[in-house]
Amino acid sequence: MSTLSVVIPCFNEEASLPSTLERVINAANTAKESMGDYEIILIDDGSTDLTWGLIKGACLNNPSVRGIRLSRNFGHQVALSAGLQSATGERIFIIDADLQDPPELLPKMMQALDEGADVAYGRRVSRDGEGFFKLVTAFGFYRFINWLSDIEIPRDTGDFRLVNRKVIDAVNSMPERHRFLRGMFAWVGFKQVPVDYDRAERFAGESKYPLKAMLRFAITAITSFSVRPLRLAMLMAACFALASFLGILYVVIGHLLGGTAQGWTSLMVVVLFIASLQFLLLGIIGEYIGRMFTEQKGRPLFICSENCGSEVIRQ
């Protein structure tokens, strides 16, 4: 069993993976002086480029490197979960392969755990190479999810962190299929401290989180850690029921006084608005029901098609 595991999910990272490995190995060798042996787990999340070939080459050249290849693209959070379930270290360092998060922060995170923390998570002070839209949506996302959620998720953070074994065991015991890991780490509790850093521009390649993926990720975050949208739906229904009752009173009183309620155009606008609102509320309910359906099927979280590295082969 290694004392430190480094978990790196990869998807089409052939351009950045060699530099990522070099910097991660240097950081792990620095930590090795105080921690002992380490392992680096690379998870290929169904890449279509040369990523798996590079991982296999790294396994041959370095006995500390292990590779896991998933049978298809399951998504970043599932690939990361596969690495966390495979990690054997007493401390687990989580980092992406794009080098936006600096591996050189590992010693500082180690120090935080040495001082009694269970989790040292990276908190972004600045974000280089990201457009105005990405900055605004990232700023609003964590504030919105914290308003909805019953737990406090640290703002301006990602999955970049160092955690100890008891925290990983707690997260690995959570069975859900739709995974929002930074929320899961917040949910399990323990002592968690931030480590501030400036996030760099992506080293190479393209972002694996386009707008569509970001929206899907946000929906997973909201539905995984909050039922407040359902409560808001009930509140909106109650408000419109009250408004409808007042409208009925207006029509009845007008009729009794001999008048005729005017406003066919405004009436149609109200009817169309309420109808669209009903479909929106049904969509919110359907999203929760659909996720319950997925959870109840109980399929495996991921499927491994191939692996490399001496430790994996022995297992």
- CATH code of the domain in which 21 resides: 3.90.550.10
Shared-domain flag, residues 39 and 136: yes
Shared-domain flag, residues 189 and 232: no
Answer yes or no: is pLDDT of 180 > 50. yes
Residue 41: per-residue pLDDT: 92
Shared-domain flag, residues 195 and 279: no
pTM check: above 0.85: no
Shared-domain flag, residues 179 and 239: no
Shared-domain flag, residues 112 and 258: no
Question: What average pLDDT score do residues 267-288 get?
Answer: 71
Question: Which segment, 182-196, 198-212, 274-288, is predicted with the most confidence on average?
Answer: 182-196
Shared-domain flag, residues 203 and 162: yes
Shared-domain flag, residues 199 and 247: no
Shared-domain flag, residues 72 and 184: yes
DSSP states along the chain:
--SEEEEEEESS-TTTHHHHHHHHHHHHHHHHHHH--EEEEEEE-S-SSSHHHHHHHHHHH-TTEEEEEESS---HHHHHHHHHHH---SEEEE--TTSSS-GGGHHHHHHHHHTT-SEEEEEEEEETT--HHHHHHHHHHHHHHHHH-SS-PPTTEEEEEEEEHHHHHHHHT---SS--HHHHHHHH-S-EEEEEEEEPPPSSS--S--HHHHHHHHHHHHHHH--HHHHHHHHHHHHHHHHHHHHHHHHHHHHHTT-----HHHHHHHHHHHHHHHHHHHHHHHHHHHHHHHHHH---S--EEEEESHHHHH-
Shared-domain flag, residues 24 and 53: yes
Question: Which segment, 114-118, 145-149, 204-208, 279-283, is predicted with the most confidence on average?
Answer: 114-118
Shared-domain flag, residues 245 and 177: no
Higher pLDDT, 299 or 198: 198
Question: What average pLDDT score do residues 203-222 get?
Answer: 61
Answer yes or no: is pLDDT of 27 > 90. no
Domain count, the chain: 2
Question: What average pLDDT score do residues 254-281 get?
Answer: 66
Confidence of residue 303 (pLDDT cuts 50, 70, 90): confident
Shared-domain flag, residues 143 and 39: yes
- Per the structure, the complete domain to which residue 30 belongs is given by 4-225+299-314
Residue 314: per-residue pLDDT: 45
Shared-domain flag, residues 189 and 286: no
Residue 114: per-residue pLDDT: 87
